Amino acid sequence: MTSILWFKRDLRLDDHPALDRVISFDEPILCLYIVEPDLWQQPDASFRQYRFLEESLGDLRQSLQQRGAELVMRTGDAVAVLDELVGRHGCMRLVSHEETGNGWTYARDKRVAEWARGRGLPWIEVPQCGVVRRIVGRNGWQSARDDFMTQPPAHPPVRIKTMATASDPLPKAADLGLSPDGICLTQRGGRAAGVERLSSFLQHRGQHYRRAMSSPLEGAEACSRLSPHLAFGTLSVREAVQATRDHQSKGRKGGWSGALKSFQARLAWRDHFIQKLEDQPEIEHHCLHPAYEGLRPLEPDAARLKAWEGGETGLPFVDACMRSLRATGWLNFRMRAMVMSVASYHLWLDWRATGQHLARMFTDYEPGIHWSQVQMQSGTTGMNTIRIYNPVKQGLDQDPTGTFTRRWLPELAQVPDRFLQEPWKWEGAGKLLGRSYPEPIVDVQSAARAARDAVWAVRKSDGFHPVAKRIVQKHASRKAPRRRAARGPSRPRHADQMSFDF
DNA sequence: AGTGCAGTTGACTTT
DNA sequence: TAAAGTCAACTGCAC
DSSP per-residue string spanning A279-290: H-GGGGTS-SSG
The per-residue pLDDT for range A371-382, each reduced to its tens digit, is 999 999 999 999
Rounded to an integer, the average pLDDT of A396-422 is 96
Q: Strand C: which nucleotides have any atom within 7 A of a protein Cβ?
A: 1-4
The separation, in Å, between residue A423 CA and nucleotide B8 C1' comes to 28
Q: What type of residue is A494?
A: H
Q: Is residue A471 part of a domain?
A: yes
Mean pLDDT for the stretch of residues A224-241:
98
Mark which of A89, A104, A129 sits at the end of a domain.
Answer: A129
Q: Which residue is nearest to nucleotide C2 (CA to C1')?
A: A387
User: Is A189 within the bounds of a domain?
Assistant: no
3 state SS of A93: strand
- Provide the residue range defining the domain that includes A303: 290-475
Query: Which of residues A110, A129, A148 is at a domain's end?
Result: A129
Q: Closest nucleotide (CA of A386 to C1')?
A: C2
Nucleotides on chain B within 7 angstroms of protein Cβ: 15
Query: CATH number, domain at A101?
Result: 3.40.50.620
> pTM of the prediction?
0.94
pLDDT digits (tens, 9 = 90+) for A55-74: 999 999 999 999 999 999 99
Angle between helix A256-279 and helix A464-475 axes, rounded to 10 deg: 120
Estimate in Å the CA A425 to C1' C15 gap, whole number.
39
Q: What is the DSSP code string of A117-173?
A: HHHT--EEEE-SSS--TT--SSTTHHHHHHHHHHSPPPPPPS---B-----PPPPPG
| Through-space separation of residue A392 CA and nucleotide C14 C1' in angstroms | 37
Higher local confidence (pLDDT), A260 or A482: A260
Rg (CA), chain A: 24
Q: Look at residue A329 and tell me if it is in a domain.
A: yes
Element (H, E) at A126: strand A123-126
CA distance A207 to A260: 8
Residue at A282 is within a domain: no
A346 CB-to-strand C distance under 7 Å: no
Residue A206: burial class (beta carbons within 10 Å; 0-12, 13-18, 19+)? buried
The CATH number for A427's domain is: 1.10.579.10
Boundary-marking domain end, from A129, A162, A188: A129
DSSP A481: P
Q: Which of residues 388-407 of A touch strand C (CB under 7 A)?
A: 388-390, 393-394, 397
| Least confident span in A34-43, A233-242, A251-260 | A251-260
- What is the tally of structural domains in chain A? 2
For residue A162, being part of any structural domain is answered with no
Scanning every strand, the nucleotide with its C1' closest to A387's CA turns out to be C2
A91 CA vs C10 C1’ separation (Å):
79
Cβ proximity of A31 and A163 under 8 Å: no
- Asked if residue A88 is part of any domain, the answer here is yes
- Is A368 contained in some domain? yes
